[in-house]
């Protein structure tokens, strides 16, 4: 079994800007720059056979490249924040790609959670949540950086990743990439 997800890799100038932003908060566990990505579907633990089936399904997704931008910062579980994220601006092309990836997973025999898709890039994790004082500081940080100039970027493909959990966080390894109009191999 392998823990896996499908995501859009971000250009270096975007990950650098996001990493600098998250480091300026001095949080307990900022997401390492090399782990910054835009998840399309979290797959959980899957067998090699199902991931191979998914690979062939993903390779058939007929999508053209498109532009994405950011729309401020936010956090999940606002009462006791657990994750700080950069919100992705609304995009029909992204919503369509997300649905195509979900359908590909379904055809491959992978059952995904039915949670509402909130496109974002995770900047930091706070474990069990932040103490009240730190949560207040985070709220101020989000307000102060609501219009942070984060660079837009072009989406030219997406990838299938393995995610291995360690005590210090996850390590992501790209298994296969899919450029729009081409399969980049498994």
Reduce the DSSP state of residue 88 to 3 states and report it. strand
- φ, ψ at 85 (rounded to 5°): -140, 160
Is 172 one of the catalytic residues?
Answer: no
**Catalytic site residue from 26, 55, 106, 120:** 120
**Catalytic site residue from 37, 55, 98, 172:** 37
Of 125, 98, 124, nearest to 112 by C-alpha is 98
- φ, ψ at 166 (rounded to 5°): -130, 170
d(CA 14, CA 20): 10
Is 120 one of the catalytic residues?
Answer: yes
> Residue 182 CB: number of other CB atoms within 10 A?
10
Q: Which residues are catalytic?
A: 37, 120
């Amino acid at each position: 079994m392998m823990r896996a997800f499908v995501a859009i890799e971000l250009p270096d100038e975007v990950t650098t800007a996001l990493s600098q932003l998250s480091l300026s908060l001095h949080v307990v566990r900022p997401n390492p720059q090399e782990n910054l990505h835009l998840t399309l579907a979290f797959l959980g633990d899957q067998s090699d056979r199902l991931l191979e089936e998914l690979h062939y399904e993903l390779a058939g997704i007929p999508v053209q490249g498109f532009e994405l931008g950011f729309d401020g910062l936010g956090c999940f579980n606002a009462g006791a924040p657990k994750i700080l994220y950069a919100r992705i601006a609304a995009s029909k092309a992204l919503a369509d790609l997300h649905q195509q990836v979900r359908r590909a997973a379904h055809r491959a025999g992978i059952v995904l959670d039915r949670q509402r898709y909130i496109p974002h890039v995770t900047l930091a994790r706070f474990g069990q949540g932040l103490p009240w004082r730190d949560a207040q500081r985070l709220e101020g940080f989000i307000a102060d950086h609501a219009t942070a100039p984060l660079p837009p970027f072009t989406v030219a493909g997406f990838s299938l990743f393995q995610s291995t959990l360690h005590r210090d966080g996850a390590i992501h390894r790209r298994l296969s990439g899919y450029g729009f109009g081409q399969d980049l191999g498994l």
